[in-house]
Structure 1
Amino acid sequence: MSVFVRVGGVAHHVVVEGAGPACVLSVGLGMSWFDWDPVVPLLAPHRTVVRFDRPGHGLSAPAAVAPSATGEAHRIAGLLDALSLPGPATVVGHSIAGFHAEAFARLHPARTAGLVLVDASVEEHARTPAAPALRTAAARGLGGVLSAAGAPAALGPAVRRATVRLSRSGGGDPAPGDLVRRCYRTSRVLRGALLENTHYRAVAAELLALRERAPLPAGVPVTVLAAPDGSTRWARRQRELARRLGARYEAVEPSGHLVMLDRPDAVARAVLAPR
């Protein structure tokens, strides 16, 4: 089922498949709902799988406000409410969406059945940058200039394909060409990615503050899936994240950053593991 639901005044593209307890999949910066395609068949027999595009991503409408950790956590809760899925959900966050998934678990503990972080972003000492309004204006201004120059239509799909190839341990971009063109030729996706990237450190700093005042729900399983890809430093940072969160750590090898494409089995196993 593919639908559009309004949360915070923004139309969000959502795809719901399967049956059973809810599982929400949120992908990284600039990616789209179809990047979870290899994982869904493994989960749908056991879970109600919810995939959604954040504002300015995929087919969702542009963002009304700049992203924040709290706002993204409430976005997930709002989507579950709009879909009439009030029960506890396992939330899976990839890359930057790991910030959002963890924030959801901390701010909505009663609605969290599990937390899975998939090669999630890690910022141990992030500080909130100054002048957020100016940063938002700059991101939107740059997006406007690039869009007026025709950059999305000319380069969007090619940049998407190249990024995916570089973020995998092997293979190209399996996404259907018509969907890639439909999403990545638009200025909407360019602007959405620029806005999220501009506020990346602010979201990271907000999550660090949340960790000090909003504990993870007791007894809820947490898994950190890391794709070290030969980087001992990245493996060490991911292990430290797992230690801090009291999580199970798993190095997924071989795999690049897009673990859901390289090793969908590892993601599904983390979601479905006995609790």
Structure 2
Amino acid sequence: MTPRTGPDTGRIVHGAGDDGVPLHVVVEGSGPVCVLSAGLAMAWFDWDAVAALLVAAGRTVVRFDRPGHGLSGPARTPAGAAGEARRIAGLLDALGLPGPVTVAGHSIAGFHAEAFARLYPERTAALVLLDSSVEEAPRAVLPAALRTGAARALGRAVTAAGLPAALGPQVRRATVRASRTGGSDPAARELVRRCYRTGRVWRGALLENAGYPDAAAELPALRRTHPLAAPVTVLAGHDGSDGRGARRWLARQAALADRLGARFEVAEPAGHLVMLDRPDQVARAVRTAARGS
């Protein structure tokens, strides 16, 4: 069942991906196009502050929910890097926005955004990776079919037990608080309930997580055969601490920037949800990426 939308949440676009899942999309503003794709289990409204700043700066902002996320239709298969790149291209086609666009990917969506920039260089003005997932030597411990089957079974069990309705919004709120350097979840209570009380979102997150090793493994091959033509910015979140884990994460992000020939920038203080902690810096990175400034 495709969730209904309203004038305050956007619209549903059909036929954008290989799997035919209806996508919820919000398009705002005018001017050069920016595409914003959030991380695992996040939704379009997590970009609200960044989108407002970009629209005010004269940009067209496209925010969408991947299958099983936000208000999009249920996920049918795990998300792959190339498949999600094609989804972005199909969505832009459906919206009549051929490009070139600045594509920004947060966390796991960094895989998808990089794949888009490599597979569609003529449609890419710039690539921005926001605290992106990094896998230096990606490998899968378990076969994809086993991981997918387990994710589907767990999703069905969680839904049947009523956990999304009982705990979904609270889990969302707790996860957001733990992923920021300070502050609570700024999302509207009604929207959080509308999305996170559904088994559709829990199942979508589990399925996408199951496909994480495969999405990561696609990138080395793409890097060998499809060079980047657009300028790249890697923006890493740092909470300001001097802990070993924080230092190692920054080093990995800096190494990713070196590997991609990217401009490297640190958002501080910021947790993993850098678009919530430092929306001004994220908007500036997206706005200036195509100029390489």
Q: Which amino acid aligns with 2:274?
A: V
Residue 254 of structure 1 corresponds to 269
1:70-85 mapped onto 2 (5 Å cutoff): 70-85=82-97
Q: What are structure 1's unaligned runs of at least 5 residues?
A: none
- After superposing on structure 2, the runs of 4+ consecutive aligned residues of structure 1 that deviate more than 3 Å are none
Quote the offset at 1:140 in angstroms.
Answer: 0.6
- Map Cα deviations across residues 214-236 of structure 1 (whole Å, 9 max, x no partner): 1111xx22100001323110010
Q: Which amino acid aligns with 1:49?
A: V
Residue 232 of structure 2 corresponds to 222
1:5-16 mapped onto 2 (5 Å cutoff): 5-6=13-14, 7-8=16-17, 9-16=20-27
Quote the offset at 1:120 in angstroms.
Answer: 0.5
Contact 1:58-1:183 within 8 A present in 2 as well: yes
Residue 279 of structure 2 corresponds to 264
1:4 paired with 2:15, answer no
Contact 1:33-1:58 within 8 A present in 2 as well: yes
Contact 1:129-1:202 within 8 A present in 2 as well: no
> Which residue of 114, 118, 122 corresponds with 1:110?
122
Residue 30 of structure 2 corresponds to 19
Q: Specify the SS of the correspondent of 1:254.
A: coil
Q: Specify the SS of the correspondent of 2:49.
A: coil
Quote the offset at 1:66 in angstroms.
Answer: 2.1
Quote the offset at 1:134 in angstroms.
Answer: 2.5
Residue 241 of structure 1 corresponds to 256
Q: Which amino acid aligns with 1:170?
A: G
> Which residue of 62, 78, 83 corresponds with 1:66?
78
Q: Which amino acid aligns with 2:121?
A: P
Q: Specify the SS of the correspondent of 2:22.
A: strand
Question: TM-score when scaled to structure 1?
Answer: 0.97
Q: Which amino acid aligns with 1:101?
A: A
In 1: Cα distance, 2:227 partner to 2:108 partner: 20
Quote the offset at 1:133 in angstroms.
Answer: 2.2
* Aligned residues with identical type, % of pairs: 68
Q: Which amino acid aligns with 1:182?
A: R
RMSD: 1.1
- Map Cα deviations across residues 125-157 of structure 1 (whole Å, 9 max, x no partner): 002455322321211111001110001011110
Quote the offset at 1:42 in angstroms.
Answer: 0.8
Q: What are structure 2's unaligned runs of at least 5 residues?
A: 1-6
> Which residue of 91, 96, 101 corresponds with 2:103?
91
Question: TM-score when scaled to structure 2?
Answer: 0.91
- Map Cα deviations across residues 102-124 of structure 1 (whole Å, 9 max, x no partner): 00000011000000000000000
1:43 paired with 2:51, answer no
Q: Which amino acid aligns with 1:60?
A: S
The number of equivalent residue pairs is 273
